[in-house]
Amino acid sequence: MTAAPLTDRKNAAIARGVAMATQIYAERAQNAELWDTEGKRYIDFGTGIAVLNTGHRHPKVMAAVQDQIDRFTHTCAQVVPYENYVHLAERLNALTPGDHAKKSIFLTTGAEAVENAIKIARAATGRQAVIAFGGGFHGRTFMGMALTGKVVPYKVGFGPMPGDVFHAPFPNPLHGVSIEQSLDAIARLFAADVEPSRVAAFIIEPVQGEGGFYPVPAAFMRALREICDKHGILLIADEIQTGFARTGKLFAMDHYDVIPDLMTMAKSLAGGFPVSAVTGRAELMDAPAPGGLGGTYAGSPIGIAAAHAVLDVIEEEGLCARATVLGDQLKARLESLRGRVPEIADIRGPGFMNAIEFNDPETGAPSPEFTTAFRLNALSKGLILLSCGVFGNVIRFLAPMTIEDDVFAEALDIIEASLLEVSQGAKALEATA
């Protein structure tokens, strides 16, 4: 089936607010490869926005899901619980940073995990205010939008956001915000907008996802922990995009000498099946009254079974170490192109959570135009890429850590060829202008 009729049907049937980065329609997929309805093969460096760290249809994940389907598909854990739910909570309690007593809950989406982390923080502290950071992304629900530090396209036209949510600038030297400036801004928030005794929590992504793959500087994370401890504020680490081996460790917070009070997880937790989680200090997690947390599909037995398999695969296949190897190879290849692609402004990211940022070489201004041209050129060659960043000038690379070496090498060649073609085309246009 050709894509054009499907696109016409999509435009007629689906609300335009559901943006779709490509107009290819999936027919089947395996590991890092995807075939569309026209039979064309693609290498998938988007993986459903960081959902498939273990690849499409990993055999161990699929076997676990099939086994669960043969047993039962749904009971609602709040009506009839099941052992796998309890066991996954035990595993996450042990695997997340810190050796203190922890408890977990399971939900369906990342936005739900964030919403429930805020509920838990408010219940535990008796406070209402929350501080997030510019460029952060925490979901499309109303609380998620309020916390998200990017207006277009997430907040446009949706009216007033929930109150008692404040933003501080994210420390990003590339964009002219130092650690000291970000800390000074927090101090000004406390002086001018919200007293610290009213703040329940800070929420921060250890590496910003949609915001542009900027890692939190270690010194800033330590300073944030000190502020929280001084004022009785909780620290929530949003690990929804960073978790499960993507950064070279199981969780991005494992790179820091800082322990969060609560962590949100989703995306690659269940290898393509919808499950999310909140894990945190036991006394905090127990603050909401019975019935205050949960949801009809929260902790689906199918997603829970998949999550157990994902954790097994990460350990058995050494995917944390594999992420570092792949990321080093990718960044080295990108670095080799700096002299020939003057639009490259930065190459970054821990493990295999990598990004490349593009600016206009003449003005130094962000170049979403070059970014889009590169993404579409790569797509035409069979490589799916995703853009991100507040200015839309960042490409993020989210291939599975299970990608085969030969497929990865093919993808690197496409990246190089596409970058060179687009950069040379820009130079040719400039020369004829």
The one-letter code for the residue type at 254 is D
How many Å separate Cα 324 from the centre of its chain? 17
* φ and ψ at residue 138, rounded to 5 degrees: -135, 15
From CA 352, how far away is CA 323, in angstroms rounded? 5
The one-letter code for the residue type at 153 is P
Active site residue 267: yes
Q: Are 141 and 111 in contact (CB under 8 A)?
A: yes
The answer to pTM > 0.85 is yes
Write out the two tokens for 103: 């408890």
From CA 231, how far away is CA 234, in angstroms rounded? 9
Determine which one of 267, 273, 374, 397 is catalytic. Answer: 267
Q: What is the pLDDT of residue 133?
A: 98
Active site residue 137: yes
From CA 344, how far away is CA 354, in angstroms rounded? 14
Q: What is the pLDDT of residue 427?
A: 64
- On the CB side of 404, how many CA atoms lie within 13 Å of its CA? 10
Q: What is the pLDDT of residue 152?
A: 87
pLDDT tens profile 365-403 = 999 999 999 999 999 999 999 999 999 999 999 999 999
pLDDT < 70 positions in the chain: 426-433
Q: What is the pLDDT of residue 429?
A: 58
Determine which one of 45, 106, 133, 137 is catalytic. Answer: 137
Determine which one of 150, 166, 213, 238 is catalytic. Answer: 238
Q: What is the pLDDT of residue 319?
A: 98
Determine the topology of domain 72-316 in CATH.
Aspartate Aminotransferase; domain 2 (3.40.640)
Helix (H, G, I), strand (E, B) or coil at 245: coil
Q: What is the pLDDT of residue 200?
A: 98
Q: Does CATH number 3.30.450.80 belong to domain 3-57+318-432? A: no
Parse the chain into domains and list their residue ranges: 3-57+318-432, 72-316
